[in-house]
Amino acid sequence: MSVHRDCGEEIKWVRRSDDLDRWAPPLERAGFAFMVDEREVAIEVPVYRRHTCDPEKVAAWLDYQEQMAALDHKRPKDQQGQQNLRDMARNRERLATKELAEKRKCPRCDAKRSDPCMNLTERRKGNLDVVTLWPHPERIALATQG
């Protein structure tokens, strides 16, 4: 099912029975009907009819699209503001954790007290002066234990 671009109604696209390379006009659900199979079992199936746009629904759909466009124009600013608040809170948490953890020596990278933890992946590559943003979990655990 998809949404008709002119009126917003749910429609179904199907291929034409006489030429499978061409599409038939869009169909809309008309309800349900019962089909009886060869075992004489009734099966409920959806029934479709050709879709025709109601002029009132077309006007309502256009109004809805305009309202959504106006909201979308405002939304990125709100989302960016929320993201900035999350980033600031995360940064405060990181700095507090770093300050607490740097009171201990790191058992993982052997960073001294008051030195930041070293990036071990970069150290293996030969870059000895790359630090991590967060202290290693082992160092944090030691600092929180006392």
**Residue pLDDT, tens place only, 87-99:** 888 999 999 999 9
Residue 135 burial (10 A CB sphere; 0-12, 13-18, 19+)? buried
Q: What is the pLDDT of residues 104-134, one digit of tens each?
A: 999 999 999 999 999 999 999 998 889 999 9
Mean per-residue pLDDT for 68-76? Answer: 66
Matching residue, tokens 């629904």 = 57
For residues 51 and 39, which has the higher predicted lDDT (pLDDT)? 39
Element (H, E) at 72: helix 55-101
CB atoms within 10 A of CB 104: 21
Confidence grade of residue 74 (pLDDT, cut at 50, 70, 90): low
Matching residue, tokens 């179904």 = 12
The domain limits of the chain are 1-78, 92-146
Its pTM stands at 0.44
Q: Which residues contact 101 (CB under 8 A, 6 or more apart)?
A: 117, 135, 139, 140, 142, 143
Rounded CA Rg of the chain: 31
